[in-house]
Structure 1
Amino acid sequence: MAARVLIIGLNYSPEHTGIAPYTAGMARALREEGWDARVITGLPHYPQWRVHEGYSHRRAAHEEIDGVPVLRVPHPVPHDAGQLRRLGMEIVFGLRAATAAWGDPDAVVVVSPALFSSAIVRVRAALSRTPVIAWVQDIYTAGLTETGAASGPVARVMRGIESTFLRSCQGVVVIHDRFSDYLRREMAVPARRISTVRNWTHISQTPSVDTDELRRRFGWGAGDVVVLHTGNMGAKQDLANVAAAADVAERTGAPLRFVLVGGGHQRPQLEELARRTPRFEVLPGVDDETYAGLLRAADVLLVNERPGLKEMCVPSKLTSYFTAGRPVLAAVEAESPSAAELDAADAGIRVAPGDPEALVAGALQLHEEWIATGGVTHRGGRRYVRDVLSAGAAVRAFSTALRALLPTETTAPAAALHS
C-alpha cells in the first residue's frame, strides 16, 4: 500500500502566485512518484483577497486537481488583510482542517504561513500520533517584526508560539539555508530535524505568446525601458517606492516605465498613484502563459522590498525571473536572502531599498550594461535554475524528508526511493 501523505495549507491552485503553486506542484509530483498524497486547503483568494468565483463560503467541497484529491474547507477572507482579520481567517481554517476527515495518513505536511492554522492542525496530529513536517515558506514572526506589524511583548509571544510549534514537529522543511540558520539560532530548532528544499520555477520555459505583441498590447513603446514587478502588492513590497522612482524618471527624462502586475491589499492605493504618476502603471493579474511572456517582454525585472527586511522571506518571483533570462534589479537589504540569491545566480544587481533615485540609477545601469554587452551580462539565472532550483531536485529532497518520518513497517514509493 502506498504511503499516505496529507498536505494541509491555506493556499492552493487555482491561485497562481505566492505559496500555492509550490504546494500544488509538490502534491502533484508526490502522487506521480507513488505517494498517496491528498490535500486539505482553503478558498482560493490570494493575492486579490477576494474568493474566486464559483467557490462557496458555506460548505466544504471535494475536487480533484491534476490528479490530486483536494478538500476545501470554508473560512472568512478579510478584504483589507489586516493582521487581526488574517488571524481570524487562519484560526477558522485551522479548526475546520483539524476537524475534517483525514483518513489515516502516515505523515502530515503543514504549510506555514499560516502559522496558527498549522499549530492547530499539529494538535490534532499529536492526538493521533501522526508525525508532522512543517514546510516553512516564510518565517512568520520575523515578518511581523521586520514589517512593523508587531513589536515588544506581542512579538515575543508570537515568537514563542512559532518556536514551540516548530520544535514540536518531527521535521521542518525550509526553502533556503538562511532560514535553516535562523531557526537554529533564534528558535532553537534542532539542526537534525531541518531540511532545505528549494522552491523551483513553475512558469513555462518557452511561452507561446508573442512578446512583441504583448508590448504593443500594453502600450509599451520601442524606446520604453520597462521595469516590471510581479506578484503581491503588500506592505513588505513597499511599492510606493516604485511609484516614487517613476516620478524621478519623469523629472529627469529617464526612458523608464515602471509596471506592476498582480494583486494585493495595497493595490487600490497603488492604482490611485498610477492615475497621477506618469511612467507608472498597475496591471491586473494575468494567466500563466501571459505572465511568462510578460517576463520576457520586459527589459528589467524588479524585486522591491521594504527597508529592514533581512530574514523573513525569499520572494517566489525570483525563480520565475531567473527562468525568463532577463536582468534582475533588487532593491533589497544587502543582508537579505533576496540579495544572496541574486548574487548566487549572477542574475542582476542590488540597490538600496527605499531609495527611488537609486532604483532609477540601478535600472538604467542594468539596462545599459545589457545592451552594451548584447545580453551577455547577468545571464546566470537560467543556469542557477537548472543546477539549483529544479523541480526534480525539490521532489527528491522532500521525499527524503518524508521517508524519514514513515513508520518502519510502511514502504516508501519505489520511484521516490530510486530517484
Structure 2
Amino acid sequence: MKHAYPVSEDSQLPGGAGKGLRVLVVSQHFWPENFRINEVVDSLRSEGCDVEVLSGQPNYPHGKVFRGYSAWGLRTEYHPSGYLIHRVPLAPRRGGGGFWRVWNYLSFVVFGAILGPYLTRGRRYDIVFVYAISPILQGLVGAVFRQIKGAAHIIWVQDLWPESLEETGFIKNRLALAAVARLTTFIYRRADLLLAQSRGFIGKIRAVAGDNIPILYHPNPGDRPLGRGDLNESPRLILPAGFNVVFAGNLGTAQALDTVLDAAGLVQDPDIRLVLVGSGSRSGWLGQQIEMRRLSNVVLAGRFPPEAMPSILAQASALLVTLNRSAALSLTIPSKIPTYLSAGRPILACLDGEAAELVQDAKAGLAVPAGDPIKLAQAIVQLKNMSEEERETMGDAGRQYFNAHLAPAPLARELIEHFRSAVIRRKTPAIATPRD
C-alpha cells in the first residue's frame, strides 16, 4: 500500500476565494477517468482551496481496471498537479451487467466508508463534497466523514433517485423503489447543504429531503471557451468535408440513440454526416444497427482523451445532444451542454424540459422534442441549409451565454461561497439559511 505524504512543490496554494478551505471531494469516478468533477477540482484549487479526493480504482467506461491500478488496491497517490488522491478497493463494472454494476456501486460505498477514514487518518477537512452522479449511495460515504471528521457535508446532486431507476427500468418493483426513496431521504437529511445541477431538481429533492436542509442551484460548468483557433496542430480525429453533426460523450441507454439512427435514416442529403464520438453500453448495439440499416451517413468515431476533444468540437458543423423522453430526464441538464456552448458551435438539442429551454434561451441552436426522429431530421436539414453567418451567430451566442453563466472560474467562486455557508451552518446549526 502506497501511503506517503512528501512535501510537494505544489503545496503552497495560491491566494483566492478558497484560501484556507480544506476540501475532501468524494467521487467514485475520478482522473484518469473523464468526469466533470476533474475540472471542478482544478478550478477549486485555482481559487486557493486545499483539495484532496477520495475515489475508487479507475475502470470506467469499459469496466476494466486501468493499467497501474489494482481492483483491490488501497493507496494514496499524487495527481500530476500535486494533490492527493486516496483510492479504495472497487469491484470493476466488467461488462456492465446488472449484478456487476450493483456490486461496483456497493463496493465503493462499503470500502469508502470503512477504509476511506483509514487512508485519511490524521487529516482534517472543513468540507466533504460528494459528487453525486448515480448512485446517490455515495452520500453515505460523505455522511461517515461528516461524523468522523466533523466537516460540513455537501452533496452535489447530479441525478434524481429513485426517479432515474424507475424510468430507466433498472428497478421496477414498487416496494424496492419505495425502499430506495427512504434510503435517499436518509442520505439527504445527513447533509448540511444539497446542491442541484438543475433548477428543476430542487422541488423533487425537497420533496424527499424535507424543509430543514438548504437546497441551492449550482450548474455543471463547461470547459474553457474554445474557438476555431484552438485546433491542435495534429488533431487526433480529422472530420471529412461536408456538414458534420457531432455527438460527443456517453453512448448509453439514456441518450436516445435509436432516435439518432432513425433520424439519420430520414436524412437524404449526402452532404450531411452524423459523427458519434465516445463509447458506452450501447457502442456494440450501435455498430450492429448501423451495419444492419446500412447507414452510410453515421460514423462511430470511437473514444478520445479529453485533450483531443477541443479540436474535434471545433471542427463540427453542429453539436448534437439527445435524451430519452421521461419526466426525470426533462429536469436534467446534460453536462455536455456547457461544453458545447463553450465550443462556439450551433447546437441541435433533441430533448425536453430545462435543457431545451437553456439552448433556446441562449439562442445557441435548435431544440426539438425528445424521441422525435422526424423533427430531429428536419432540424438537421434546416440547420445545414442556413447560411454560415447564421450558424456562426448561434455559436457566438452560445459562447457568450457560457461566459456569463457557466464558466468554470466564477462557478468555482460561487461553489466556495456555498462551502463557507455550509461550514457556518455546521458550526451553528440554529442559524437560518436560505431554502432555494
TM-score using structure 1 length: 0.86
Q: Secondary structure at the match of 1:109?
A: strand
Mapped partners of 1:154, 1:267: distance in 2: 30
1:331 pairs, out of 338, 344, 350, with 350
Unmatched 5+ residue regions in structure 2?
1-18, 428-436
Contact 2:313 2:319 in 1 (8 A): yes
**Within 5 A, what are the aligned runs for 1:47-126?**
47-65=61-79, 66-99=81-114, 100=116, 101=118, 102=120, 103-113=123-133, 114-126=135-147
Q: Could you tell me how far apart the structure 2 residues matched to 1:2 and 1:253 are?
A: 58
CA distance in 2, matches of 1:141, 1:84: 18
**Residue aligning to 1:391:** 408
Q: Which one is further off, 271-280 or 224-233?
A: 271-280
Aligned partner of 2:214 in structure 1 is 193
Partner of residue 186 from structure 2, selected from 147, 152, 164: 164
User: How far off its partner does 1:196 sit?
Assistant: 2.1
Determine which of 54, 59, 62 is the counterpart of 1:45. 59
* 1:330-367, Cα deviation, whole Å (9 max, x unpaired): 1112xx22112212221111112222222111111122
Quote the residue 1:415 is aligned against.
Answer: none
* Per-residue CA distance 1:159-181 (angstroms, 9 max, x = gap): 22213311221111222222223
Matched, 1:295 2:313: yes
Which position in structure 1 is the counterpart of 2:363?
A: 346
> Aligned partner of 2:128: which letter?
V
Counterparts of 2:372 and 2:391, CA distance in 1? 28
Q: Select between 158-167 and 390-399 the one with higher mean Cα deviation.
A: 158-167
Matched residue SS, 1:5 = strand
1:271 corresponding residue in structure 2: 287
Compute the displacement of 1:385 (Å): 0.8
Contact 2:245 2:275 in 1 (8 A): yes
Contact 1:106 1:407 in 2 (8 A): no
Q: Within the alignment, does 1:262 sit opposite 2:278 as a pair? A: yes
2 CA distance for matches of 1:58 and 1:307?
Answer: 39
Compared CA separation, residues 189 and 392, structure 1 to 2 (3 A) = farther
Work out which of the residue numbers 228, 232, 235 in structure 2 matches 1:209.
232
The one-letter code sitting in structure 2 at the alignment partner of 1:182 is K
Bigger shift: residues 1-10 or 61-70: 1-10
Moved more, 386-395 or 30-39: 30-39
Deviating more after overlay: 48-57 vs 229-238: 48-57
Q: What secondary structure, in the 3-state scheme, does the structure 2 residue paired with 1:375 have?
A: helix
Q: Go from structure 1 to structure 2 and tell me whether the alpha carbon gap of 1:158 and 1:192 turns closer, same or farther (over 3 Å shift).
A: closer
Secondary structure of 1:168's partner? coil
The whole-number CA distance in structure 2 between the counterparts of 1:327 and 1:409 is: 44
Letter paired with 2:348? L
Moved more, 30-39 or 186-195: 186-195
Residue equivalent to 1:283: 301
* Identity percentage of aligned residues: 24
- 1-structure distance, mates of 2:92, 2:344: 36
Structure 2 vs 1, CA of residues 154 and 241 (structure 1 numbering), >3 Å: closer, same or farther?
same
- The aligned runs of 1:7-18 (5 Å cut-off) are 7-16=25-34
Structure 1, gaps ≥5 residues long = 411-419
Name whichever of 157-166 and 400-409 sits farther off: 400-409
Partner of 2:155: 134
Q: How has the CA–CA distance of structure 1 residues 167 and 208 changed in structure 2, closer, same or farther, with 3 Å as cutoff?
A: same
Is 2:47 aligned against 1:33? yes
Task: Single out whichever of 366-375 and 225-234 deviates more from structure 2.
Answer: 366-375
Q: Match for residue 258 of structure 2? A: 240
Tell me, what secondary structure is at the counterpart of 1:79?
A: coil
Aligned AA (2:51): A
> How far apart are 1:312 and its partner, in Å?
5.2
The answer to whether the 8 Å contact 1:4/1:37 transfers is yes
- Partner of 2:170: helix, strand, or coil? coil
**Cα pair distance change 1:402/1:373, threshold 3 Å:** closer
Larger mean CA deviation between 300-309 and 46-55 belongs to 46-55
User: Shift in Å at residue 228 of structure 1?
Assistant: 0.9
| Contact map agreement 1:322 1:385 (CA 8 A) in 2 | yes
Inter-partner Cα distance in structure 2 for 1:409 and 1:49: 38
Alpha-carbon separation, structure 1, partners of 2:425 and 2:250: 42
1:380 aligns with 2:400: no
Give how far 1:214 is off: 7.1
Aligned residue identity for 2:22: R
TM-score, with structure 2 as normaliser: 0.83
Alpha-carbon shift at residue 140 of structure 1 (Å) = 3.3
The residue type paired with residue 184 of structure 2 is E
On the 8 A contact 1:351/1:358 being kept in 2, the answer is: yes
* Conservation of the 8 A alpha-carbon contact between 2:321 and 2:349: yes
